[in-house]
């Protein structure tokens, strides 16, 4: 056992997605595409008699992290730091779960493979209702395309082969469980169409166009976000 370990996991913003449920959380998830960011979450893990989670210096209830520690059979103090907005769709919960899995595996000599650790984090995130595809996207990096849902043993991944500078702005919180917890038929249909368009032309330009269309058709596009998109488009 080591005194401590640290892991960094990038933030992730989903541009389009469809929901695919399953009784097995390792098989459940989403198909879709998004962008990982330079900004992310740094997770530190130390052995402890009782598991405690902190986010940016304050105690936090993060069920996905608790699920990872339970899956590994360890108790630990988990401290996460991030400049990303929390509760605004940047994959902070998934990053904390995956970072905790990586760091705890090192601290406690769990000797788990990377796929196993990603599976634990993904399943814990699905069980918590805080995400369906962030963990596998964050593990992949870049501009990942999730062709099939689930953890690494079940999913199928691809990516847009390009990088670019990403700037972002947020207008408050939108809890993931509110988006994925209700009637999602319209959202899933919109996400399926958008993913089909992106797969035919896997470029960043098509990704952004398909994401805008998905936001409109899924009902997620607010007036304020629409105005921001228009402002960006007007600048070229």
E strands, 105-222, are 144-148, 156-159
Summarised one tens digit per residue, pLDDT across range 179-208 is: 776 678 999 999 999 999 999 999 999 999
* Alpha carbon distance 207, 201 (integer Å): 9
Cβ proximity of 82 and 95 under 8 Å: yes
Residue 48, pLDDT > 90, answer yes
pLDDT, mean over the chain: 95
Cβ proximity of 58 and 32 under 8 Å: no
pLDDT of residue 43: 98
pLDDT of residue 195: 98
What is the average pLDDT across 38-55?
A: 98
Summarised one tens digit per residue, pLDDT across range 50-69 is: 999 999 999 999 999 999 99
pLDDT of residue 15: 97
């Amino acid at each position: 056992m080591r005194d401590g370990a640290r892991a960094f996991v990038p933030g992730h913003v989903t541009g389009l997605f469809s929901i695919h449920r399953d009784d097995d959380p390792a098989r459940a998830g989403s198909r879709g595409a998004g962008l990982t960011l330079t900004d992310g979450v740094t997770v530190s893990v130390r052995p402890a008699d009782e598991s405690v989670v902190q986010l940016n210096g304050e105690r936090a209830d993060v069920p996905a992290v608790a699920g990872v520690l339970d899956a590994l059979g360890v108790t630990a103090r988990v401290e996460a730091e991030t400049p990303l907005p929390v509760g605004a769709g940047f994959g902070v919960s998934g990053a904390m779960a995956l970072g905790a899995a990586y760091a705890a595996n090192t601290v406690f000599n769990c000797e788990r493979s990377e796929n196993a650790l990603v599976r634990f984090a993904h399943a814990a995130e699905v069980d918590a209702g805080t995400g369906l595809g962030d963990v596998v996207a964050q593990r992949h990096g870049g501009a990942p395309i999730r062709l099939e849902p689930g953890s690494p043993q079940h999913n199928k991944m691809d990516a847009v082969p390009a990088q670019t500078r990403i700037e972002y702005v947020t207008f408050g919180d939108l809890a993931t469980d509110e988006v994925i917890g209700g009637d999602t038929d319209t959202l899933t249909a919109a996400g399926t169409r958008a993913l089909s368009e992106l797969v035919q032309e896997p470029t960043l330009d098509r990704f952004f166009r398909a994401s805008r269309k998905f936001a409109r058709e899924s009902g997620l596009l607010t007036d304020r976000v629409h105005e921001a998109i228009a402002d960006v488009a007007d600048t070229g």
